[in-house]
Amino acid sequence: MAEADPFNVVNVHEAKTNFSKLLDRAHAGEEIILAKAGVPYARLVPYVAPKPVQRKPGGLKLIGPIPDSVWFDPLSEEELALFEGRRGSDSV
């Protein structure tokens, strides 16, 4: 592991005390290393929003048509219990 810049290493106690200031520094582009007992544990870095993914319609490839029963038949007791957050048909 590469040596961290000692000016950017902040101990957990100090980070909790000055969290808002550390966020401002990170937002300004600075990378801050959070340490526990002097051992680096995490990095506080500026957030970079991911580029939006261009979606292309028609990506789902089916072997054949979906039968209407998938959409219109009632659920079994077990499926209904799972849908409602119950463990199984024994809790009905």
pLDDT recorded at residue 87: 73
Looking at residue 5, what is its pLDDT? 64
pLDDT at 1: 44
Helix (H, G, I), strand (E, B) or coil at 41: strand
CA distance 36 to 13: 9
Instruction: Tell me what pLDDT residue 46 has.
Output: 94
With CA atoms as reference, report the closest residue to 47 among 23, 25, 24, 27: 27
pLDDT of residue 6: 63
Low-confidence ranges of the chain (pLDDT < 70): 1-6, 88-92
For 58-73, write each residue's pLDDT tens digit.
Answer: 887 878 888 888 888 9
